[in-house]
Amino acid sequence: MSIARRASLLARIAALWAGLGVAALCIALAGIGFLAVAFFIWLLRHFPADEAAAISGGALLLVAVLTVLVGNAIIRRIKANQPSMLAEFGGTLGLAARIVGMLVRKDPRKAIILSMIAGALAEYVTSDRKK
């Protein structure tokens, strides 16, 4: 299978998963809405309408606040586990050095040609003349 065909297949699969996720999210939100309405109807049996509405609203606000707090804690934990940019740059630089070392050991002529091309490209990018 060619690379373009494989990429197209992966894009279609990703689009299908995204659509499935959106559909599942809509169904879940509808279910939560029905649960909220059922809670309100249940409260109507025990309280007057205005008190049932106030209790339902307060419960939904409490759920919203708890969602924000839990989400914030999860995001902080994810951010704490990520390495710093300097560590990532060092890792990338080390990987590049190992790849270059393997290339030089395998075929020194290709390494010299690639270094000449990289030098010419660096000169072109960093030159001060106007285009």
The pLDDT, as a whole number, for residue 131 is 54
Kindly give, in sequence order, each residue whose CB lies less than 8 Å from that of residue 60, ignoring residues fewer than 6 positions away. Answer: 36
Distances (CA, A) of 130 to 16, 67, 119, 121, 126: 47, 54, 19, 16, 11
Q: Within the chain, which residues score under 70 in pLDDT?
A: 1, 82-85, 129-131
The pLDDT, as a whole number, for residue 80 is 73
- At 62-80, the pLDDT tens digits run 988 998 999 889 888 877 7
The pLDDT, as a whole number, for residue 102 is 81
The pLDDT, as a whole number, for residue 6 is 81
